Structure 1
Amino acid sequence: MNPPSPRLRLALVVTAVLLLASGSLGYVLHARHRERPPAQGSDASFTVEEPGLYFRDSAGGRIARQDGPGRPRVTGGPSCDRFHTAGGHALCLRSLPGVPARTEALVLDRRLREVRKVTVPGIPNRARVSASGQVLSWTTFTTGDSYNTAAFSTRTAILDLRTGYLVKSIEQIPLTFGGARHHDSDVNYWGVTFAADDNRFYATVSTRGATHLVEGDLRAWSAKALRENAECPSLSPDGTRVAFKKKVSDAPRSPWRLYVLDLATMREHPAAEPHGVDDQAAWLDDATLAYALPGRDGRASDIWTAPADGTGEPRLLVPGGSSPANVG
């Protein structure tokens, strides 16, 4: 056998060097990812890998987990003002100090290590992660601090982790009412909830003094109004119903009641909760809702649960908690 030519020897050496370099780079990147610390304020042992109900503990503002009704809470998560988790990712919204108001949106992996951080104007309000964990949305109040005033403005973002693409505000999405394009400078969106396909979503739009449930399409970049007087939608796991808060009075503090809408028939019914609910409800399963109410005994809030079909009675699930998210 003839020895390899000088040109062939050079090619083999270059190939070996490139393979060694790429392997070293891959190891370094892997090591960096592996050694990345948990989010600030989070214990290394606390993750969102375990099944259970994750929520914000009102006592200290940190994320905790409860493994079942009446079970003791497991603490050690990061400090958040709003929180949601699904599909191996978590979204933590934190108020930043200073004026004007700013919010830090932290995207975390299943071990609560930082994946991405975005700073946006406003006060933390709503947070949602799609079932796959790949698409996230958050809402902040940029003017005012309540939906129950005329002087409020929101900013809602959508982040696609598959592409890294961030829509900082969805206000410019083409919106139609009854097939006609709607244009108005007072359009505000909030409370996004995602379908299982990571493309379709539902949200609230406020314009000309009324709120509407809208259905959006990310790929087509379009949205259409479905019905009036529906806020903070939450899509059921099976994709057939939307829980939402409906304005039923002019009460100064919480004029909303919790309702459920059947998307096939567009018929609605109230949940059994008699108190005003100013929250974006979460689904514990296809039959059960969880939501926050002002707390008893001086607590900031408690998490309650009620059947989605309107039967039964509400039940206290977590004293001193908010932002519930169930991981099965």
Structure 2
Amino acid sequence: MSPAPTSPASSRTTRLLVLLAAVLLLGAVGTYSVLHAAGRAARVNQQQAGGPPVATGSVTLAHAAGGPQLVFRSMAFGPHRDELSTVPVDHPDAVRTASGVKCLRFHAAAGTGICLRADHGAVQDTYHAVVLDAGLHELKSFPLSGIPTRSRVSPSGHLAAWTVFVSGDSYGGTNFSTRTSIVDTRNWRLEDNLETFTVLKDGQRVQSQDVNVWGVTFADDNAFYATVATGGQTYLVHGDLAARTLTTMHQNVECPSLSPDGTRIAYKHRVPGATNDVPWQLYVLDLRTGVETPTAEQRSVDDQAIWSDDSTLVYSLPGDNGSDLWTVPADGSGSPRELIGDALAPAFLG
């Protein structure tokens, strides 16, 4: 028996139902794809130009459950550029966790951070030194009189220091002026300009209008080291916060960094006869013996190096996206190696 013929109306209805089902199915697939892609982007955002993967999340300056952390300003191009980010110290190539907090310069210790920040205005940028708690929340902000260049926190977290360029934007030449400040985070007492301290050289007070101070590194909550420039020379100085004195110790030292055990200073050593473009080599001074040791890094280092431990230095060099972090032994042995790309202003925590 032949099947009953299908009416034109019934055929049109069937086709419409099939079409509607197809549209709904495609819509569901599209919605799922968009949501899945958005969720993946929220979890891990692959930076432009093949940069490191970055996940948004919580960053702490306290002891992290996952072990020691490296916190730094991420220089990778993408939505998280300039944000404080973190990776495990023993796995620097891991996915970065980006905090959302942007800094030009940064340092931290004992749960206290100092963030030198740019605030972009319609006419010009302004800058602030922002003291952060362990959760990266702002505790106090101080306006800056120039472009941020150096920052440090004392081992206890009680003191924070910063240096800005009041004029000029490079240590390479002689036509620049700096201002360096120290704040006590316990009572917010601010020493706004260390140039007002008494500078002592060979037991005599330096009477000069050309004094510049930069690059503080702390020994404790009173003693610190820094660079003083005067008379065309740079000096390592020992600072006494209570006495408000800066006493010269050693010549040709810039941007000092005290080792964790307090026995050595890493610093930029100006090479005689070098050009202003590449004037420095990375050296280490033994404070007990006065012996200077050049590191194996032969390239010019324009940075205030940091100690990852008592035997290893970490410092920045120019990279494809602005800056990469490199490491080298402090005793002159070994050879430099890249620690992490697209990074600046590190702090080793935990």
- Pairwise TM-score range, normalised by the shorter structure: 0.7 to 0.9
1:200 maps to 223
Pick from 153, 158, 167 the counterpart of residue 143 of structure 1.
167
For 1:307-318, what aligned pairs fall within 5 Å after superposition? 307-318=329-340
Identity %: 48
* In structure 2, C-alpha distance between the alignment counterparts of 1:275 and 1:263, rounded to whole Å: 24
Pick from 53, 75, 78 the counterpart of residue 98 of structure 2.
75
TM-fit CA distance, 1:97: 3.3
What CA deviation, in whole Å up to 9, does each residue of 1:92-114 have, x standing for no partner? Answer: 00123357764210000001111
* In structure 2, C-alpha distance between the alignment counterparts of 1:79 and 1:93, rounded to whole Å: 9
2:24 maps to none
- In the alignment of these two chains, the number of paired residues is 284
RMSD between aligned alpha carbons? 1.6
TM-fit CA distance, 1:73: 2.1
| Cα 1:147/1:73, change in 2 over 3 Å | same
SS of 1:292's equivalent?
Answer: strand
Is 1:292 matched up with 2:309? no
List 4+ stretches of structure 1 deviating above 4 A.
Answer: 98-101
* In structure 1, C-alpha distance between the alignment counterparts of 2:200 and 2:240, rounded to whole Å: 12
TM-fit CA distance, 1:256: 0.5
Is 1:162 matched up with 2:186? yes
| Cα 1:100/1:250, change in 2 over 3 Å | farther
When normalised by structure 2's length, the TM-score is 0.78
For 1:1-328, what aligned pairs fall within 5 Å after superposition? 45-49=58-62, 50=64, 51-59=68-76, 60-67=81-88, 68-69=90-91, 70-97=93-120, 102-195=126-219, 197-248=220-271, 249-295=273-319, 298-328=320-350
| Cα 1:77/1:133, change in 2 over 3 Å | farther
* In structure 2, C-alpha distance between the alignment counterparts of 1:77 and 1:218, rounded to whole Å: 34
* In structure 1, C-alpha distance between the alignment counterparts of 2:74 and 2:57, rounded to whole Å: 18
Task: Determine if contact 2:57/2:97 at 8 Å carries over to the other structure.
Answer: no
1:17 maps to none
Q: Which letter maps to 2:347?
A: A
In structure 2, stretches of 5+ residues that fail to align are: 1-55
Task: Determine if contact 1:90/1:108 at 8 Å carries over to the other structure.
Answer: yes
| Cα 1:102/1:149, change in 2 over 3 Å | farther
* In structure 1, C-alpha distance between the alignment counterparts of 2:177 and 2:239, rounded to whole Å: 20
1:36 maps to none
Q: Which letter maps to 1:55?
A: F
In structure 1, stretches of 5+ residues that fail to align are: 1-42
TM-fit CA distance, 1:136: 0.5
SS of 2:195's equivalent?
Answer: helix
Task: Determine if contact 2:173/2:276 at 8 Å carries over to the other structure.
Answer: no
What CA deviation, in whole Å up to 9, does each residue of 1:13-66 have, x standing for no partner? Answer: xxxxxxxxxxxxxxxxxxxxxxxxxxxxxx772222222111110120111111
* In structure 2, C-alpha distance between the alignment counterparts of 1:233 and 1:57, rounded to whole Å: 23
Task: Determine if contact 1:46/1:77 at 8 Å carries over to the other structure.
Answer: no
* In structure 2, C-alpha distance between the alignment counterparts of 1:133 and 1:272, rounded to whole Å: 32
TM-fit CA distance, 1:272: 1.1
Q: Which letter maps to 2:111?
A: G
What CA deviation, in whole Å up to 9, does each residue of 1:126-159 have, x standing for no partner? Answer: 0100111110000000100011122100000000
Of structures 1 and 2, the larger Rg is shown by: 2
SS of 2:302's equivalent?
Answer: coil
When normalised by structure 1's length, the TM-score is 0.83
Task: Determine if contact 2:60/2:136 at 8 Å carries over to the other structure.
Answer: yes
SS of 2:102's equivalent?
Answer: coil
| Cα 1:209/1:96, change in 2 over 3 Å | farther
What CA deviation, in whole Å up to 9, does each residue of 1:174-200 have, x standing for no partner? Answer: 1111101101111010000000x3111
Task: Determine if contact 1:307/1:313 at 8 Å carries over to the other structure.
Answer: yes
What CA deviation, in whole Å up to 9, does each residue of 1:206-258 have, x standing for no partner? Answer: 11111111001112221100111100000000000000000114223231000
Task: Determine if contact 1:193/1:202 at 8 Å carries over to the other structure.
Answer: yes
Task: Determine if contact 1:101/1:123 at 8 Å carries over to the other structure.
Answer: no
